[in-house]
Amino acid sequence: MHNGSDIEVRWLKWEEAAEEILDLRRRVFMSELGWSEERVHHDSDPEGLHLCALSGGKIVAAISAYVYGPGAPGTAALELPDLDGPTVEIGKRVALQTHRGRLISTRIANSMVRQLCESLCPSRFFLIVRPSQYDHLLDRYAKRDFVVRGEVGSGDDAVTVMTVEGGEALERFYLRHRELTWESRSDDERLAIPSLVRFLADEGRGDLLAAERLGAENFYLDLLSLQEEAPRLSAQGRLVLAEQRPRLASTPFPPAPASLLDVGSGPGDYLAAVTEESPFAGYRVCGVEPAPQLLARARSNFPGLTFHQGTAYATGEADASHDVVTASFLFVHLRSPDLALLEMRRVLRPGGLLYVVDVDDAAFRGPDVVRRMLETYDREYAADRTILNDLPERAAEFGFQPVRSFSTTLGYVVDAEPGFGPDEIRLGREQAWSLLSFVRSQRGIEESFLEARDHYFGVECEIGVDIKTQVYRRRP
């Protein structure tokens, strides 16, 4: 539901909403715009994805997406050649006159695009513009990265097809829509938009989800040289272990014998250290990691642990096979947290725990110039380094109930000795800065990095980065 507003947003099946959606389209397309009945319908409506805003239980705005696999007649008729992945048409956006001006249909449209990118990973988006709409729409969509691909049909049936396709254009398109959804997070009228992944899984349409395509991405490794990153990761691991000891001790892990799965286990050092801790005595421990080079390192350094190749979206583990799933510094590197939550829920036994540790850039404290650098980095990073703010809401959709949450600030405090305080780790000046060294690896950010670094070392100032722990229980 909406924060203090009357709007509820839902993905609706065509069978349950067809009459209402058609009625809404008729009111707008026919009564207001004077279009014909034919244009109220779409051949693919029955399989379409319909995101609807409801007020008092009635649909007041809707937008639809139509997914075409390679070889689909719908795309061939529009002279769109086949691509490897799915093609998605966006269309039939409508809002009741009484509900315009509140950006409801804009917000659901932005969220729809974001979620489609995150969970279906389309190779192309397209939309159809008709001559009567040219004046305002061609321009509007061009500003949203669509390019005119061509005209199809003739006479009254002529339409213009606009597309977004190709790796770079799609990435821009995704980042832009994600940012728009971030902006609306702070609106008074924030809409809680449910998960497309959850909807598709519940409807038995999980085959549309792009677990495999997304699993081929590794944003963490894309940007880093392993040579430089390995020592940073082990230094971070030592710090985090110290921070985690009391967190682990106060979490009600199930007693042994039990099984723990660590997703995104990397070189395994952190997993090996954590599972030495008393809550895990007698546990069977397994790590899942997609990167072959990290997997090889983990297997050779920790022969007593088991490591499998897999991703957060497809771990390769059996249903309900683990009592605990851990994810340390993983979620901030995922394009689709929802798909990972779906998979984590699948492999956890009912009542099992999901234990997440990650950074939260939204909680960064420090001078503006450093904050701006971090924000620039985060805007361009295709995973979300502020995801922990949304995770409780998203996890709830996948049947996870919050059990505990903790937060620790790691940073430099002027005139304070390095050491441990409650919920705080005070580092030396250099060491605190090294927590931000990953920023430099992103293209185009060097100048902003150097400016921030010069400021930090030139002026006596403090920085603080939050590490958050969130523990969830999988509902039966």
Ligand X SMILES: C[S@@+](CC[C@H](N)C(=O)[O-])C[C@H]1O[C@@H](n2cnc3c(N)ncnc32)[C@H](O)[C@@H]1O
Provide the minimum distance between the beta carbon of 79 and ligand X in the complex, in angstroms, as a whole number: 35
Provide the minimum distance between the beta carbon of 116 and ligand X in the complex, in angstroms, as a whole number: 18
For ligand X, which is the closer residue by CB, 266 or 352?
266
Say whether residue 208 binds ligand X (CB under 6 A): no
Is the bond preceding residue 257 a cis peptide, omega within 30 degrees? yes
The answer to whether the CB of 50 falls within 8 A of the CB of 17 is: yes
Say whether residue 261 binds ligand X (CB under 6 A): no
H/E element, 403: strand 400-412
- # of chain residues touching ligand X (CB under 6 A): 22
Provide the minimum distance between the beta carbon of 438 and ligand X in the complex, in angstroms, as a whole number: 9
Among the listed ranges 6-14, 50-58, 198-206, 328-336, the one in contact with ligand X (CB under 6 A) is 328-336
For ligand X, which is the closer residue by CB, 85 or 367?
85
Provide the minimum distance between the beta carbon of 224 and ligand X in the complex, in angstroms, as a whole number: 9
Provide the minimum distance between the beta carbon of 265 and ligand X in the complex, in angstroms, as a whole number: 5
Among the listed ranges 99-107, 172-180, 289-297, 365-373, the one in contact with ligand X (CB under 6 A) is 289-297
Helix, strand, coil shares of the chain, percent, nearest 5, are 45, 25, 30
For ligand X, which is the closer residue by CB, 199 or 329?
329
Which residues does residue 55 pair with via DSSP β-bridges, in sequence order? 7, 58
Please tell me the distance from the alpha carbon of residue 177 to that of residue 173, in angstroms, as a whole number.
6
In the set 146, 270, 355, 377, which binds ligand X (CB under 6 A)? 270
Structure token pair of residue 471:
């523990």
Q: How many CA atoms lie within 13 A of 415 on its CB side?
A: 0
Please tell me the distance from the alpha carbon of residue 217 to that of residue 339, in angstroms, as a whole number.
14
Among the listed ranges 44-52, 62-70, 139-147, 216-224, the one in contact with ligand X (CB under 6 A) is 216-224
Say whether residue 264 binds ligand X (CB under 6 A): yes
The answer to whether the CB of 239 falls within 8 A of the CB of 410 is: yes
The dihedrals phi and psi of 134, each to the nearest 5 degrees, come to: -50, -50
Distances (CA, A) of 229 to 139, 145, 226, 249, 305: 44, 35, 5, 29, 22
- E strands, 19-156, in order: 49-55, 58-68, 87-95, 124-129, 147-152
Say whether residue 263 binds ligand X (CB under 6 A): yes
In the set 196, 248, 324, 330, which binds ligand X (CB under 6 A)? 330
Interface positions, 229-258, toward ligand X (CB under 6 A): 233, 237
Q: What is the dihedral of CA 249, 253, 257, 263, to 10 degrees?
A: -100
In the set 52, 127, 170, 312, which binds ligand X (CB under 6 A)? 312
Provide the minimum distance between the beta carbon of 313 and ligand X in the complex, in angstroms, as a whole number: 6
Say whether residue 272 binds ligand X (CB under 6 A): no
Say whether residue 218 binds ligand X (CB under 6 A): yes
Binding site for ligand X (CB under 6 A): 215, 218, 220-221, 233, 237, 263-266, 270, 289-291, 294, 311-312, 328-330, 333-334
